Amino acid sequence: MAEKRPHERRHGFTLIEITIAIAILAFIGGITFYSVIQIIQSKKILDDRDDAQRIAIAVLNRMTRELQLAYSGIGLMPRPESGSKRRLPSNINLIGKPKKLPNGKRGDSIRFIALEGGQYLPDGGTHSGVVQIMYRVEENPETKDDKIPTYVLVREEIPIIMPVEKAFAKMMVFPVSERILSLSFRYYDEEEDTWVNTWGQGDRVKLPLQIELRLEILSPQGIVHKIVTAVPLRNIN
């Protein structure tokens, strides 16, 4: 039997060749896996940012729309817990109070009269005409023990009707957002050409020329999103 020539001999891969091939495949697989993970994480971050921004913009759009309906022809009603049966002096059209939250940030409140700013009711109706609107920030018991606790933005609406007891009976209170970290207002005093943090006392009782809103919202992924806007008031009367 004739011996096979060298170039006709069959032989398999050596151990070194197999090891190198496995190493190359592992390297390529690692890069591919890392790239996929990065794409997924980037998508989560973008979706998270978009969700938080949508919430913040929706809140600010609502508050902006209602502030632009601010009405200076009627004074504010008393707070339900005050027990007062009388309206505040007719020249007090808006009250803004700064407040410090447990997290060290501001959770301000604002109360004003709005013309045709009523919320639609569950039965399909609405508080037509003039309403008193209040926004305030309250603690959220469900996130009190979280690493970064968030707060609830609450909207309160009272129709301007008499007697006062009837108006209070028709009061609507509901949360607007539960991811709030801070909410602050500044008011432009045209007479003194300056921005102030408080409104509704002394000579600052009529509607301010502009209101600045600053809102911080915590996204589900724990990222803080900040939005600032200024609202010019139309001084409807």
66-117 pLDDT, tens digit per residue, is: 999 998 888 888 777 765 555 555 678 899 999 999 999 999 999 999 987 6
Is residue 29 in a domain? no
Residue 231's pLDDT is what?
Answer: 93
Is residue 12 in a domain? no
Is residue 146 in a domain? yes
Is residue 31 in a domain? no
Is residue 39 in a domain? no
Residue 26's pLDDT is what?
Answer: 77
Q: How many CB atoms lie within 10 A of CB 210?
A: 16
Is residue 2 in a domain? no
Q: Average the pLDDT over 111-134 and give the result.
A: 72
Is residue 178 in a domain? yes
Using CB atoms within 10 A of its CB, is residue 79 exposed (0-12), middle (13-18) or buried (19+)?
middle
State the residue range of the domain holding 89.
46-232
Is residue 194 in a domain? yes
- What the block records as the tokens of 205 is 């009782």
The total number of structural domains in the chain stands at 1
The pTM for the full model equals: 0.75
Q: Average the pLDDT over 138-146 and give the result.
A: 82
